[in-house]
Structure formats: C-alpha cells, structure tokens
C-alpha cells in the first residue's frame, strides 16, 4: 500500500482549527441530541454505533499524520462490518483538509489512490466536508474534478446525507430541494443521500420512511428509494422483516429500492468488509450473493464505459445516471 505523508507545515494550523472547524464530538451520534423521530426505535443502538464509528475514524485521521499508518490503524481497530464507516469518517477529514488548506495535490485523492477498495465510501464521507467548509457547496463540482471520476460523484450523495441527517427538519420534514447550483446528476445524488439519511432519521422504520418519501415531489422519490436500499443493505440494523416490508411499501418504486442493494454490495465487496445483514438482504431481495450482486454492477458499469463514444467530460457527467438506469432495468 502506498504511503502519503502529510506535510509537516499543515499540522500546526490543522491543530488550531480542529477545535472550531474540524472537531466532532461522539455526542453528535446521539439521536436524542438531534431530536430525531427515530429516537425510540429498537434500531437506535445499532445506528448510533455506526455514527460513532464514523466519528472515531474521523478523529483517528486527525491524530495520524502518516496515511499509510492511518489505514493500518483503521483496518485493525474496527470489525469488517463497521470498518467502512471509519473510512467514511477519514474521507470527511481529508476533504476538510483540502477545502480549508488547499495544496497542489488533493489529500483526499491521494488517500483514495492508496486505499482503492474503500474509494466510494471515502468519497461519501468527503461529501460531509462540502456542508462544513466555507463556500463548500459553491466548490463541490470544481472539487469533484480533482478526484477520480469513478468515485467523485459520491460527494453529492454524502452532501445530501449530511443535510438530511443534521438538518432533517429542513430537508426531510420540510422537503427542501437540492441546491439549484448543482448539475442534474448531482441533484439526483443529493436526493439519494437524503433518502439514505432517512434510515437514521426514522430509526429504520419502513412505514415512517415510506410515508416521508411519499410527501416529496414525485420526481424526487425514485432516488430517495435508491438511498434507502443502499442503507438497508450496507448499514443494516433494521427491525425483523424490514427488507420485505420496504419491498412491499415501495410499490412502483420497488426497482429503485432494489437498485440500491447491489450498489451497497459492490462497496462491501470492493472493501473486503462483509456484513451478515448485507448477505441477508442480497439473498432475500435479489436472490443473489453480495459477490454476484457486485459483479452485476461491474458488468453494467463496464458496458456503459465500453460503449461510450462521446466527450470524456460528458461520459462522467452522466455515468451514475446511466449505471442506475442499467441496474434498474435489470431488476424490473
């Protein structure tokens, strides 16, 4: 694994900033502190443990200057089912460092290159930085261009999750729209992130999630169901029969819910971090193992990339939309 050593001159300023701009408290994982509707859910303990793992991964990144050492500590400190969330926290740290103290080479890009198995989840965590850094939203799309386009789209999903979770009254209850400044693909991904946040906001309650999505404009619902499917399969922790219940409640959006499952399986397969609940959801809803579901995503993505004949920039500007379309058609 390649090692990228953070420049020493960055560290003193980062140390001064972390208390104000970079600091995260374990209390941020508390459903009660956020006033979430799911505070009384039986899934709360599991979902809060995921949030605490994210925060621990972030704080470990703050304390570890050598990124090769950091990856080793992340891998050894968390169980396979949870280690992806720790890498997600690392993504927030490296993106904040980039946005607050820019330099010629992106720290986030370097960390992803050194840990390609966790590329998607790290980039999702980086989306949190867009919400927390000054002018972060204005810089989101230019920042995406500094990253590998294969995973850069995940920033918008992470940004949507951040807004849906930390500002749920605005973005879930009041249904505030995706920022108009974002391009079409990023607006869809924002909605997927908001949908994924509902798994936490409502404590993995299928009926509450379905009811909340039904109140959004029809054009936003499909991607929100994708986000719910991804959370169901990657995060897990729902009540008994949650997958079957969601599958019934999704109605016409069932192929969208199902589309999120292979995406979650692909992230786990790439990271080599299996989880029992991912196996159960893939088997129960798709009739596939996570490896088979992941392989289908790889095949769909390869088909899109191999068949593209237009400008390179446009290929990536529509990559997620095209991939989603292929996955959905296969699952209809």
Tokens of 300: 């769909």
Q: How far apart are CA 290 and CA 283, in angstroms?
A: 8
d(CA 122, CA 84): 8
Supply the pLDDT for residue 195.
98
State residue 18's pLDDT score: 55
Residue 287 is predicted with a pLDDT of 98
pTM above 0.75, yes or no: yes
The torsion angle over the Cα atoms of residues 254, 277, 120 and 69, rounded to 10 degrees, is: 170
328 contacts 255 by C-beta, under 8 angstroms: yes
Residue 118, pLDDT score: 98
Q: b/e map of 101-127 (b: 16 or more CB within 10 Å)? A: eeeeebbbbbbbebbebbbbbbbbbbb
Give backbone dihedrals phi and psi of 293, rounded to 5 degrees, phi first.
-65, -40
> Distances in Å between the alpha carbon of 269 and those of 96, 151, 272, 291?
27, 15, 5, 6
**332 residues of the chain, pLDDT tens digit each:** 333 334 434 445 555 555 455 668 889 899 999 999 999 999 999 999 999 999 999 999 998 989 999 999 999 999 999 999 999 999 999 999 999 999 999 999 999 999 999 999 999 999 999 999 999 999 999 999 999 999 999 999 999 999 999 999 999 999 999 999 999 999 999 999 999 999 999 999 999 999 999 999 999 999 999 999 999 999 999 999 999 999 999 999 999 999 999 999 999 999 999 999 999 999 999 999 999 999 999 999 999 999 999 998 899 999 999 999 999 999 99
Neighbours of 88 (CB within 10 A): 27
pLDDT at 313: 87
What is the three-class DSSP state of 66? strand
Q: What is the DSSP letter of 179?
A: P
- Residue whose token pair is 């971090």: 273
Q: How many residues does the chain have?
A: 332
Provide the sign of the torsion angle of the four alpha carbons 264, 149, 119, 194, taken in this order. negative
Q: What separation in angstroms does the CA of 96 have from each of 14, 101, 128? A: 10, 8, 9
Question: What sign does the dihedral 224-228-229-235 (CA atoms) show?
Answer: positive
- Predicted local confidence at residue 1, as pLDDT: 33
């Amino acid at each position: 694994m390649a090692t990228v050593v953070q420049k020493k001159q960055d560290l003193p300023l980062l140390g001064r900033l972390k208390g104000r701009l970079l600091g995260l408290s374990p209390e941020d994982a508390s459903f009660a502190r956020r006033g979430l509707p799911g505070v009384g859910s039986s899934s709360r303990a599991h979902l809060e443990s995921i949030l605490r793992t994210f925060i621990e991964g972030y704080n470990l990144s703050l304390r570890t200057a050598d990124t090769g050492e950091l990856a080793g500590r992340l891998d050894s400190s968390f169980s396979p089912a949870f280690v992806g969330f720790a890498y997600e926290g690392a993504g927030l740290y490296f993106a904040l460092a980039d946005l607050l103290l820019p330099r010629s080479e992106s720290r986030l890009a370097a960390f992803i290159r050194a840990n390609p198995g966790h590329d998607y989840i790290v980039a999702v965590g980086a989306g949190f930085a867009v919400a927390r850094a000054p002018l972060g939203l204005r810089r989101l799309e230019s920042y995406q261009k500094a990253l590998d386009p294969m995973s850069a789209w995940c920033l918008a999903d992470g940004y949507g999750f951040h807004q849906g979770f930390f500002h749920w009254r605005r973005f879930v209850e009041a249904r505030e729209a995706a920022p108009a400044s974002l391009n079409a693909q990023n607006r869809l991904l924002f909605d997927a992130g908001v949908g994924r946040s509902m798994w936490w906001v409502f404590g993995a309650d299928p009926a509450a999630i379905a009811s909340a999505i039904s109140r959004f404009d029809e054009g936003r619902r499909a991607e929100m169901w994708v986000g719910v499917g991804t959370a169901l399969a990657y995060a897990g922790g729902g009540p008994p029969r949650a997958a079957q219940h969601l599958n019934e409640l999704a109605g016409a959006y069932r192929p969208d819910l199902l589309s999120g499952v292979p995406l979650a399986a692909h992230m786990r397969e790439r990271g080599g971090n299996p989880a029992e609940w991912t196996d159960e959801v893939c088997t129960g809803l798709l009739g596939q193992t996570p490896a088979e579901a992941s392989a289908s995503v790889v095949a769909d993505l390869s088909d899109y990339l191999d068949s593209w004949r237009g400008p390179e920039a446009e290929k990536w500007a529509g990559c997620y939309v095209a991939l989603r379309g292929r996955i959905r058609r296969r699952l209809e």
